[in-house]
Amino acid sequence: MEYPFIKCLHPVQVNTLKGITLVRCGKCPACESSIKSELQLRIQCEAKKHKHSYFVTLTYDDVHLPLFTPVVALESEMDDCDKVSPYWYDSDGFAQCDNVEVVFGPAYKGIPFVAATAVALSQNHGVSVPWGFNRKEAKDHGEGGVLVGASVAGKKVWIIDDVITAGTAIREVVTILKNAGATIAGVLVALDRQEKGQGELSAIQEVQKELEIPVHALITMKDLMNFLDAKGESEALAKMEAYRVKYGI
């Protein structure tokens, strides 16, 4: 099987509607080199198009990381609570967690996160964890309903998402999962924005208190601010500090 840079050493046969197709295995040295080259080229293209580029991955260690210098992506953007935020966060990396029977991604941003997590747990840790997600609207044909993927009935489920801004989406998906017979083991988010929820507590603190479930974040807004300070990004840091004074805890 030919590729732009290199040939896969162990191509895999896949049955499709058009017949048998060969796809790369993704594991051999040739594939690893090819994938690394593709990602490096993609990152270089993104870096030329945007002022800031931020790369987060769960499939590479420091030795095999594509060659580039990561920075935090900062742009003013209207968030789900109609607040103009001076930054936004985009990530796709989560670590392995014990005491988990199903991982679940809320529609829609949570879907690629949970899929990537399940793949990484299998490929990097040898752990096979069933995963699923929900639809925004119920399907009235085929398998029907709003839940897709692994059954959650009687299972301990970890919810994986990007952020908790107001907590509305998490509350909704927790209700859906409980109605389906699941036990919520906890929530994993990439970023804790450390913003006020409906009261003086942060949205994450409110979710933990109200739903009585643990919520863990990979990084916090304070971590991002420390990163900007270390990089000397004074203008972006000032905007985030002003934003935190107004909305933060």
Q: How many residues does the chain have?
A: 249
141 is catalytic: yes
- What's the rounded Cα separation, in Å, for the pair 241 and 236? 9
Q: Which of 48, 49, 51, 141 is catalytic?
A: 141
Q: Give the Cβ contact number of residue 8 at 10 Å.
A: 19
Q: What is the 3-state secondary structure (H, E, C) of the chain?
A: CCCCCCCCCCCEEEEECCEEEEECCCCCHHHHHHHHHHHHHHHHHHHHHCCCCCCCCCCCCCCCCCCCCCCCCCCCEECCCCCEECCCCCCCCCCCCCCCCEEEECCCCHHHHHHHHHHHHHHHHCCCCCEEEEEEEEECCCCCEEEEECCCCCCEEEEEEEECCCCHHHHHHHHHHHHCCCEEEEEEEEEECCEECCCCCEHHHHHHHHHCCCEEEEEEHHHHHHHHHHHCCHHHHHHHHHHHHHHEC
* Residue 125 among the catalytic residues: no
Catalytic residue among 7, 27, 139, 246: 139
> How many angstroms separate the CA atoms of 150 and 103, rounded?
9
Catalytic residues: 139, 141
